[in-house]
């Protein structure tokens, strides 16, 4: 699939290889239409200036498009690294080279150089060279961080580990690429959103729009073996993602953390509740959604909190 024409104005096309074909599908969705974004006509006032007033919706669209361009640039950088390594006969890219968003690199200087992280990197790199497929694809391992710069984070949704079926994992918690069957947990999330804020239930499960708006979709473990859930747990990822949660808790104020299920709620100890808002409920899986996820109204509550603090609410529609 070809990339959006709008994106081609920002970037040179990446080298097309089968190994990174999935990235083209992720980058094929066009930007939000930005009608009436051109400058208004001169009003001919005393200063001979231009009326620069634009609507709040136009500002929102411009902000979204700028943020999406950054996310797509980071994705392209990762796919190009993978393309280059394949062309040179390598089976993998060093893990630390796939985190390319500078705001996170600045926030966590040297984190991936620590002894635990070196062991983690070596483990994941060995797994990539093994006979069992590893998800998500290499260029999407840090997709949550590369899609949502630290400076834009407003909401954090914590998941466990990536989906372990073919084509499902895309490096964003709960999210699947367009064209992939929507998992039951995400179906239940959409049902709650529909009931809570009235958004129509989408036909796909790609949550990139949330990530670009400032929703950090962070799994606590970032890789997994094919059809082996939790196979990369307790290898070092938890230490890395705990550092992310703890650091953003310290460095930012007024974030909304959505902790669904017992596993996510264990992360509350890393969050300063005097500075942030924590919303807890049952997990949205089919086994537990009826035990407190349905009816939690976390999506309207999140927007109420954001608006109270003077931040733009999240558009939960896809």
Q: Which residues are catalytic?
A: 161
Pairwise CA distance, residues 169 & 175, whole Å? 7
User: By C-alpha distance, which of 33, 317, 311 is closest to 152?
Assistant: 311
> Using an 8 Å Cβ cutoff, are 162 and 222 in contact?
yes
Sheet holding 256-260, edge to edge: 215-219, 155-159, 256-260, 277-281
Pairwise CA distance, residues 119 & 26, whole Å? 30
**DSSP per-residue string spanning 132-196:** S-EES-GGGTTHHHHHS-GGG--EEEEE-S---STTT--SSTT---TTSPPPHHHHHHHHHHHHH
């Amino acid at each position: 699939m070809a990339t959006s024409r709008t994106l081609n104005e920002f970037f040179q096309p990446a080298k097309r290889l089968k190994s990174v074909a999935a990235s083209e599908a992720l980058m094929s969705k066009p930007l939000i239409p930005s009608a009436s974004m051109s400058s208004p006509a001169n009003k001919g006032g005393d200063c001979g200036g231009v009326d620069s007033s634009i609507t709040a919706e136009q500002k929102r669209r411009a902000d979204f498009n700028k943020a999406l361009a950054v996310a797509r640039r980071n994705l392209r950088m990762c796919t190009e690294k993978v393309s280059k390594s394949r062309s040179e006969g390598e089976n993998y890219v060093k893990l630390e080279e796939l985190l390319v968003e500078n705001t996170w690199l600045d926030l966590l200087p040297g984190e991936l150089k620590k002894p635990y992280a070196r062991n983690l990197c070596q483990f994941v790199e060995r797994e990539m060279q093994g006979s069992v497929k590893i998800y998500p694809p290499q260029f999407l391992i840090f997709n949550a961080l590369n899609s949502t710069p630290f400076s834009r984070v407003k909401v954090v949704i914590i998941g466990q580990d990536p989906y372990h079926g073919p084509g499902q994992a895309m490096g964003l918690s709960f999210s699947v690429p367009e064209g992939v069957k929507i998992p039951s947990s995400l179906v239940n999330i959409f049902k709650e959103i529909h009931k809570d804020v009235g958004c129509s239930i989408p036909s796909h499960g790609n949550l990139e729009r949330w990530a670009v708006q400032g929703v950090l979709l962070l799994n606590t473990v970032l890789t997994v073996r094919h059809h082996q859930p939790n196979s990369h747990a307790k290898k070092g990822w938890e230490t890395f993602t705990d550092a992310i949660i703890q650091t953003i808790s310290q460095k930012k104020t007024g974030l909304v953390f959505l902790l669904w299920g017992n596993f996510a709620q264990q992360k509350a100890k890393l969050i300063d509740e005097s500075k942030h808002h924590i919303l807890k409920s049952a997990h949205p899986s089919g086994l537990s959604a009826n035990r407190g996820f349905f009816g939690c109204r976390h999506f309207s509550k999140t927007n109420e909190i954001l608006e109270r603090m003077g931040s733009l609410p999240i558009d939960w529609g896809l």
